[in-house]
Every structure is written in C-alpha cells, then in structure tokens.
Amino acid sequence: MDEIKTKIEKLRQQLNYHSERYYNDDSPEIEDYEYDMMMRELKNLELLYPQYDSADSPTKRVGGKADNTFEPVEHAVRMESLQDAFSKEELVDFDKRVSSNVNGAKYVVEPKIDGLSVSLEYRDGLFYRGSTRGNGDIGEDVSANLRVIHNVPLKLNESIPYIEVRGEVYMPKRSFEKVVDRQILNDEKPFKNPRNAAAGSLRQKDSNITSNRGLDIFVFNIQQIEGKELHSHKESLDYLKTLGFNTVPFYTQVSSIDDAIDEINKIGEERGNLEFDIDGAVIKVDDFNQRIMMGSTAKYPKWAIAFKYPPEEKQTKLIDIEITVGRTGVLTPTAVLESVHLAGTTVSRATLHNQDFIRDKGIAIGDIVTVRKAGDIIPEVLCVNEHNSNSIYEFPKHCPSCSEPVYRDEDEAAIRCINPECPAQLLRNLIHFCSREAMDIDGLGPTIIETFVNCGMITKTYDIFTLDPNKICQLEGFKQTSANNIIKSVEKCKDNDLSKLIFALGIRHIGAKAAKLLSDHFKNIDAIMTASVDSILQIEGFGEIMAQSVVDYFSTDSARELVEKLKEFNVNTESKAVVNDNRFEGMTFVLTGTLPTLKRNEAGAIIESFGGKTSSSVSKKTTFVLAGEEAGSKLDKAKALGIQIISEDEFMGMIK
C-alpha cells in the first residue's frame, strides 16, 4: 500500500509541475495527451484507494456541474467598494482627510484590476468556499467554478486555521481574444470586453465551461484571519505571497501623496503593455490601526481611494476603410489610420462598427478623426474632427470575398454575405455542417476540419465527400484506421433525413426544429428550393423573417450549386418522416425532466410520427406535459395553468 501512496503523491507532483509550466511559464514540456493520461491514472487510483484522496489534488480542478442555482453567501466582513477620483486635486483632498484623522500615514499604491471581485475562504489551509461580491453583504457561492481557475490555490503553504481573502477574477487579454474568436466561429454574440467575459464565465452553471475560458485571479486583501497577526497592508500582501496566492503584480509603499501620484502616473504609462486590464490605481493607508481609526462611510472605506484613468484620445487621419468578411458572413469595416501612439501602443487600425455608425458620424476617407481605445483593448473611431471633400463611405453591394450580393436584415445593423461557399466563411460553415445536430459526421471535429482546410483538402463544403483516406494518412497524426473511420462516417451521413441536411446548410434563422418542419412539409429539397415566402408561411411556427431567409438562401447560385453537388454524391434529399396516424394532430407536448427509458429526442420523434408537435415552453396552448424526474419549473407552470401532466407509462399507453 505504501507503493500506491508513493505513486499517487508522485503523480500529483508531476501534474502540478507540468500545469505550472503550461499555465504560468508558457513552455509546456509534455504533450496534452500525456498530461491527460497522467490525470486519468491519478483519478483511477484515487477512486480505488479513497483513503489517499486529498482536497488539494490536481484532480479536484477538473470541471463538474454546479448547482442549478447559486446559493447565497452572507459576507461576515462587508466587501466594500471604493471612492473614485479623476484628478490630482481629488487625491490631494483625500490626503488632507487622512491627515486630519491620523498622523504620519504611509500609503500603498497598486493597480486596480478590471474584473470580478470574489471572496476565497480557507480552513486549516484548505479551500472550502468562494463567492462573488454581490451587493457587498450577500454574494453567490461559485466555489465549483473558482476551483477550476489555475491560480486559486486549493491548499495553502501554511495550515492556517482560517483566512478569508479578497481577489479579482479577470480574463487575460490573450484569453479574451481566443474566447471571442471561438464565439464568432460558433455564431455567438462575442463579449464586449474582458471584464464582462470574466463575469459571464465565472457564473456559468457548468464549471467545464469556466475552465475553458482561461480565467485568472489576483488577490489583494485579507478580509479575516485567525492564527496570525498582521499590522499593515504591505505586510499582508507579502504574507499572502508566502501562502501561495497570486497577489496584485506590483505594489509600492510610499510616504507622501506626491509619491503616490508619481506611482499612479508610472502605472498609467505602463497599462497599455500589461497582459490584463486595469481601470485605475488604488491608494490605501498602509497601517491597519490607522484604518480602524478612520473607519468607513455607508458606501466605502475612508482609508482608500481609486484613481480612474481617463480614456486617452488622439486625432489622426483616416487613410482608408477596409471591409472584411467574418466567419458568420458579417461585413466589418476597419479604419486604416495614420499611426498614432495611444494608451501605450501604436494604433494604425480601428473599428468603425457598421454602416449605420459610418453614416451617423458622416465618416469619409481622408477625414481627420478622433480615436480612443474602448476598454483599453480595441481602438475605435469616436467622431470626425475635420471633413474633406469625399462623400460618406458606403458599403460594397457585393461580398469582397466571393462577389455574391450582400443582404441586410430589417431587424439588425449587420450587412452579411449568405453564400454558403464563401471562402471567408468556409471553416465556420464546415464545422456546423459536420456537427452532431447537422450531418453528424463522427471524426470531423473543428480541429481536424481546420487541418484539412489549411492543407487544401477541403475548399468547398462538398469536398467532404471527396476525401481520400490515403491522402489523409499522409498528414501528421493520422493513421489508416482513423482515416478509414472518417470515410465511413462521411458515407453514413449520406443516408440522413432531409431535415438534418437542411439544418446543416446553415440557413439564417433556421434551427434544427425549423429544418424538421420544412422537411416534413415539403418532403424534398427541390420543393423547398422553389418555395415562395407565402407557401413557407403556411407552416405553423414560421414567421416572415424565417420564410424570407429560406427564399434568400436558395436564390443564390452558390446554394443551388451546392445542392446539385450533394445530389451527385448521393446525399439523401428526401424526407424520411413516417406518420403512423394523426392521433396527436393539433396537440402540443412539452417534455421536461428525465424520463425512465426514453430520451427526449426519441419521445419527440414518436409524437411527431403521430402528427403532434413539441414545444420547449409551457403555455395555454400546451396539450400535455410529459414529465420525468427533476422536472423543475415547467412542471410548476403546467400545474398553475391546469395543463394535464402525464408520465412515460401514460404516454406509452397513448401510442399503443
């Protein structure tokens, strides 16, 4: 048994070492697969020998499901906000107030991290709870999500009886860029700035999502402590470092307000070069006894103040406007500028948002414009200072990537290309086409698709059906077996129902359910391609925007060419929906909870085969609610509305 214990401890040491090399040093020494196999081995050993389990094991960082709701946490020590200052004069006034209460105060100056404030609590050196600031008095328990943040220590370097610290969870700039790229690729609305991204990521119901967002933390304060006596803020920060916390990256003790202001100016000059966002700098009275003497107002402590840096703005010349096509087909204008130094970096490009923004501001090439960094991350054009004689810039009528006509929906500002074969959108469209709800091609995940696109094996969607296993084997990391499995999956998908193909095409506003309705109503793809808006509107559940989107999509030559190519490769374009009878005609079912034997999609298919339909929400139009275990709020709403609730057994009786 001693050998097992030694092996477990060695695995933990190795995993912690390689995790440090990967996350903090950016120089991994082993491949991800090798790391994952070590992690799996450790998990298995801990399951087999629970007597050697430990709260600070690397396996405890693996994401799991958080509760459906976050439990409230009452803060024993109020998590106060700070008074803001925007000028040197306000800082001098702060110093006068301090001097009127205490003598010879020293200050600590530190950056104000732009993130989400949290509390971390430890008992006997082990992390046991973490919570958000909330309203300062009551926050939310987000322990599961905080555990997966690499720099949140699960075990401290000293077994101190109790300590509560305050920190700021933030998203590094490089992590933010990766998350936004991923959101754009998945046709999701991207986060506006790292602060919002951090807040949204920390409050995920599934901590696996949190763990993939690249969050980090800086700890900057001790809220409570037992078993250790500390006298000043600088001493406490130094002590936090010895415990293993990732403290604010730099902090300086000064003896006067003039020195504090000098330090604030130094931080301001460097903020553009930092890998994280700061929205200011904080001055704190260093001595804890002096803090007690000064106390707090109802809103903030009297012994601290936050200086907020004003957004830096510069004027420069707009040389050109470039239009790029994103992976979702949206045309995005970018200003090409005469280079200007702004917030610590040289800026030569800035966002112009969309055509409405350009028109409202009256922007033309050659204008002198004001530029600033939005959230100190993305440069943006604010306004025109001096017009030239050129007319206001207008978007092109055709896609700059594929030359197809571009469209603008009435309900949004974006102008987009809807060509499914547009080169700029190829990767995103392919990933969607192969996804599980679409053509469900096992083995063609995002990474492999990107590899095939980059090496030129796929340049059009239908190239999927021309993949050669022998050529795949020539690529690094592929073997004959994996290549053959991909080809088998490609062949298998040809027999899918028409509804999966329609969804796979990625038509705007047409999800999996709408694709099924189209397929069941028109029976084959030719009928859908020639359908008018009015004929599509005959389908219950379709509105004007959805119907027009279908017509617009199939009006393009590229969409029609794609369909013809798919037919040549023997991809099924007929509906396979089988209607046993119409006993559920006119009825709407809502499925909720976990059914004993049926999956929800299986139950939904049965309902549709008998002429009924399913809905995701309970309303007065609902006929039945088919409920399983842990049904939740839908069951409560059904009871309140008097909707008939049935079990799986009752449902099976209805279809006999």
Known catalytic residues are 112
CB atoms within 10 A of CB 415: 22
Task: Please state, in angstroms and rounded to a whole number, the distance separating the CA atoms of residues 652 and 611.
Answer: 16
Across 363-425, the runs of DSSP E, i.e. the strands, are 368-374, 378-386, 406-408, 415-417
| Cβ contact 282:261 at 8 Å | no
Torsion over CA: 622, 627, 632, 638 (sign): positive
DSSP assignment, residue 59?
G
Cβ neighbors of 358 (< 8 A, separation 6 or more) are 321, 333, 352, 392, 393
Long-range contacts from 37-46, C-beta under 8 angstroms, 24+ separation: 38/11, 38/14, 39/15, 41/11, 42/8, 42/11, 42/12, 42/15, 45/4, 45/7, 45/8, 45/11, 46/8
Cα-Cα-Cα-Cα dihedral sign, residues 401, 406, 409, 415: positive
Q: Which two tokens stand for residue 344?
A: 């610590």
Q: Are 611 and 581 in contact (CB under 8 A)?
A: yes
d(CA 113, CA 5): 41
Integer Cα distance of 141 and 72 in angstroms: 6
Q: Where are the alpha helices (DSSP H) in 362-405?
A: none
